[in-house]
Amino acid sequence: MIHASLNAACFMLLPPLTIAALYESRWQVELFFKWIKQHLRIKKFLGTSENAVKTQIWCAILTYVLIAIVKKELQLDASLYTLLQILSVSVFEKTELSCALQTDPALSEMPCSANQLSLFDS
């Protein structure tokens, strides 16, 4: 408890603008980790060292940027999340990337089968 009260005492000596700047910096870190969880799909860090955490974050950012580039180059309408999902299940298939990420027009134009029961009344 001495350590916590010492830190509080130190903060009491700082000017208000410095405390506000520290809080803003801390908030930026919180927003960064929120973005990581939402976009990079990092749920937990695999290592505890600074190098392990940085390596995992950089790998996730690299993957995110590469998928964004592929999306732009292939002019895909799907979200980055959807593209990541498709790639995560088809990573070991021998399919050309552009084919794996394109929507299949045959699937969207499939006629409704007379043998298929309807879930909802139409």
Structural domain boundaries in the chain? 7-40, 43-90
The secondary structure of residue 49, as a DSSP letter, is S
CB 56 within 8 A of CB 47: yes
- pTM of the full predicted structure? 0.56
Encoded amino acid at 30, one letter? E
pLDDT digits (tens, 9 = 90+) for 58-105: 998 898 889 889 889 888 888 888 888 888 777 777 777 777 777 665
pLDDT digits (tens, 9 = 90+) for 50-63: 999 999 999 988 98
